[in-house]
Amino acid sequence: MSLAEHRARADAALVRFRDTPVGHFVGGRFEPVAGETFETRAPFDDALLARVAAGQPADVERAARAAEDAFGPWASLGGAPRKALLHRIADGIEARADEIALVESSDTGQPIRFMSKAAARAAENFRFFADRAESARDGLALPAERHLNYTLRQPIGPVGVITPWNTPFMLSTWKIAPALASGCTVVHKPAEWSPLSAVLLAEIARDAGLPDGVLNTVHGVGEVAGRALTEALPIRAIAFVGESATGAAIMAQGAPTLKRVHFELGGKNPVLVFGDADLDRALEAVVFMIFSLNGERCTSSSRLLVEESIHDVFADRLRARLAGIRVGDPLDPDTELGPLIHPTHRAKVARYLEIAAEEGAQVVSAPAATPPCTPPSLLLGAHNAMRVAQEEIFGPVLTVVPFADEAEALRLANDVRYGLAAYVWTGDLERGHRLARDLDAGMIWLNSENNRHLPAPFGGMKASGIGRDGGDYSFEFFMETKNVCVALGTHPIPRLGADPV
């Protein structure tokens, strides 16, 4: 499809949002907007896409009550009907995949070439957890001498899901699908910079026949609506994806009501490239993992640690690639890098380029990028103590640090507060496994770019998160494990008060 066709179809998908302000979805219906609203704008041309209800604590309370009322019937519905419903949601996502991609691309600035796959991945999330809904309650048999212990799992209750703005549709399904499969009900608070695709998900769930109140969506600003959700009494747990500082705030906000928390937070992920690696493949992966999804990607390999012996050659090849990256309108099928989501975020990334220069790094930016797009950039001659090597920039900026040997590479890689992902490129199998053992990261990819397998655990160490997603790990979070201990005979019970003195 051409850019003109994409534009026309995006317009058709978005016109409904321009006409009517977007309301919360509570108890199975979209509420009319009565109070305050906020704007969401297209990052590429600043067009006003929608006015959206700015949720207040009372809105969150209403949604939390709806989730509480819906919990009992949903939890006791049984795995088979839940499975069928979740598959119907996946069908609905697939049927509206083009619309989801166009709305998401317009609202976030993410290139359509990546967003066109977001719906398929979201549907896959629903199908994966749908197929496990029937076994989610299964436990273990733990026999002892005179007793049989066995475990059961049950859904924890209504939960809050708070998501960021970078790839909102896919990320929200990654949380909402396992929550629903477990038997939990959900209140979702999407990010205020990209709220629109959450509306489509609520519609799809409603049209699939999901009972009223099982999924609720409250829009709004994090410090108000998000905060209220973390404080709401009926909400038993918060699954959060976002910045590390916000995770810390949520932990404090949720403490008085003893919220269980699951955090997927920021990263400053190293990619280690050794001289013995397949450098052609390493180059592809390094370029892809920093410049795809606008660099607004938690698992982006934003720190390149490269062996000194190949540093200059590799840096030259990176420069050449940088110049070739197609930057522009996210709806253009040729675009590889779109505009960053919001003027505030663009200013933050631009400031990091200034900081890099102030710190003494050489900033190499692609010349062809024009505002509002941020140029893809390399920071050469950097060292690990620089802010640009330590802090998450969350944009198309690659910090390049040379290392002398494996020991130094490991030390540099671990010398950050984050620990989400690490990538290693080497032809030495033993070294690869040694590093996989010793790197401080929840996920290690050896001779691979980020490649996701849904049963595998996803999550970070240190300031990058608490808990793991994927497969059974998701159920561990959304469910309580209960132990049942049964006597197998008449074992002796200690007697108290039976022999008075």
Among 105, 230, 374, 377, binds ligand NAD (CB under 6 A): 230
Angle value at C-alpha 100, between 96 and 104, nearest 5 degrees: 175
Identify whether the C-beta of residue 331 lies closer than 8 Å to the C-beta of residue 10: yes
User: Which of 245/488 has CB closer to ligand NAD?
Assistant: 245
User: Which of 265/318 has CB closer to ligand NAD?
Assistant: 265
Q: Among 68, 124, 264, 296, which one carries the catalytic annotation?
A: 264
Among 6, 189, 303, 346, binds ligand NAD (CB under 6 A): 189
Q: What token pair was written down for 178?
A: 């396992």
- 227 lies in the binding site for ligand NAD (CB under 6 A): yes
Query: How many residues interact with ligand NAD (rule CB under 6 A)?
Result: 31
- 68 lies in the binding site for ligand NAD (CB under 6 A): no
Site track 13-52 with ligand NAD (rule: CB under 6 A), x = hit = ----------------------------------------
Q: Looking at beta carbons, which pairs linking 260-264 to residues 24 or more positions away fall under 8 Å?
A: 260/156, 260/236, 260/477, 261/237, 261/466, 261/467, 262/237, 262/238, 262/466, 262/467, 262/469, 262/477, 263/465, 263/466, 263/467, 264/240, 264/298, 264/458, 264/459, 264/460, 264/464, 264/465, 264/469
d(CA 117, CA 95): 13
Identify whether the C-beta of residue 178 lies closer than 8 Å to the C-beta of residue 171: no
- If we measure between CA atoms, which residue out of 61, 57, 63, 71 comes closest to residue 31? 63
d(CA 161, CA 468): 15
- 267 lies in the binding site for ligand NAD (CB under 6 A): yes
184 is catalytic: no
- Least distance CB 440 / ligand NAD (angstroms): 15
5 is catalytic: no
Question: Between the CA atoms of 167, 170, 175 and 180, what dihedral angle is there, to the nearest 10 degrees?
Answer: 150
> Which span sits near ligand NAD by CB under 6 A: 186-194, 277-285, 470-478, 485-493?
186-194
Among 155, 157, 164, 375, binds ligand NAD (CB under 6 A): 164
- 55 lies in the binding site for ligand NAD (CB under 6 A): no
- 266 lies in the binding site for ligand NAD (CB under 6 A): yes
User: Which of 210/228 has CB closer to ligand NAD?
Assistant: 228
- 166 lies in the binding site for ligand NAD (CB under 6 A): yes
Give, in order, the Cα–Cα distances in Å from 172 to each of 60, 175, 270.
Answer: 18, 5, 26
- Least distance CB 36 / ligand NAD (angstroms): 15
Those residues with Cβ within 8 angstroms of residue 370's Cβ, 6 or more apart along the chain or in another chain: none
User: Which of 44/394 has CB closer to ligand NAD?
Assistant: 394
Identify whether the C-beta of residue 158 lies closer than 8 Å to the C-beta of residue 238: no
Residues within window 409-438 making contact with ligand NAD, judged by CB under 6 A: 420
Among 44, 129, 394, 423, binds ligand NAD (CB under 6 A): 394
Query: Which positions are catalytic?
Result: 264, 298
Binding residues for ligand NAD (CB under 6 A): 162-166, 171, 189, 191-192, 222-223, 226-227, 230, 241-243, 246, 249-250, 253, 264-267, 298, 392, 394, 420, 460, 465
